[in-house]
Amino acid sequence: MNKSLAGALIVAAALMVMGCDKTSEKGGGTGNDTFRIVVPATAPDVNQGEVVTVRLALERGAAFKQSVKLDAKAPAGIQVEPTDATVQPGDKGDVQLKITVAKDVALGEHKIFVKGTPDSGEPTQTEFRITVRAK
């Protein structure tokens, strides 16, 4: 194995351990007229009956100047607020999701889906997981 490949593998492994964020596929148009949704790469732990806040980010290409509506969907017993938020062209792009887990939600991992729809062009979507633990 050559040194550059070994170095790349070490960097990739370090990013996985550090919990680097996960991004969606590109939405919007082509080239720099696109956007991505960034969600947590690692599942945050939430106890039954408790609340956690998760940060999402909208990364814009240099030419992307549209509003994007973000819609979040969670399984039964898990509430996400806001369920929809619009990120305007001049906004920083950060959205805080408040996730409330009911006291009787099944333990384990649960998926939360996030879809981003621009004013025009293609939408994109991604998901992230939360891990529900016993209180």
Average pLDDT estimate for 86-111: 95
Cis before 82 (ω within 30)? yes
Against a cut of 0.85, is the pTM above it? no
Are 99 and 112 a contacting pair, CB within 8 Å? Answer: yes
**Residue 121 half-sphere exposure, CB side, CA atoms within 13 Å?**
22
Q: Which helix (H) or strand (E) holds 11?
A: helix 3-18
pLDDT band at 28 (very low <50, low <70, confident <90, very high): confident
Average pLDDT estimate for 87-98: 93
Domain boundaries, the chain: 22-133
Average pLDDT estimate for 83-102: 94
**Encoded amino acid at 17, one letter:** V
22-133 is classed CATH 2.60.40.10: yes
| Res 5: pLDDT | 40
Higher local confidence (pLDDT), 30 or 38: 38
Mean pLDDT of the chain: 84
Rounded to the nearest angstrom, the gap between the alpha carbon of residue 120 and the centroid of all alpha carbons in its chain is: 21
